[in-house]
Amino acid sequence: MLIADQSCPMCTMNDLLDFPSKYECITCGHEWEKEEEREPERVVKDAYDNVLSNGDVVQMIKDLKLKGSSKVLKSGMKSKPIRLVEGDHEISCKMDGLAIGLKACFVKKV
């Protein structure tokens, strides 16, 4: 099958054959592997635009009351090393002996 939205990296012609795992140029015969389409990696940033990663330690920037509890996470409280997770609350960590999920906009990287 001929494709027209890509060109050969060797001769820059766009007469290509499309195979399941590779492309082949009809003009020069060059063959190359198809690149797998990947989802862009999710980047989680704290309140000050620092990129967070697994194992970072974060600090609260404002007091937050925990739902379903009378406890309050105070400003300046530090976490144990964090783990980034999918979903609305991007950070899973332990603070003050509690396992909690936090939004990144309420913390800063230490």
CATH of 44-109, one of 3.40.50.1370, 1.20.1560.10, 3.40.50.300, 2.30.30.40: 2.30.30.40
* pLDDT tens track for 48-64: 999 999 999 999 999 99
Please state the pTM of the whole predicted model: 0.63
Q: What was the pLDDT predicted at 18? A: 86
In this structure, what token pair is assigned to residue 65? 């009351």
d(CA 75, CA 93): 16
Determine the average pLDDT of the residues in 14-18: 87
- CATH 2.30.30.40 domain range(s) in the chain: 44-109
Determine the average pLDDT of the residues in 17-24: 88
Q: 38 pLDDT band (50/70/90 cuts)?
A: low
List phi, psi (to 5°) of 86. -80, 155
Residues 6 or more apart in contact with residue 69 via CB below 8 angstroms? none
The better pLDDT of the pair 21, 39 is held by 21
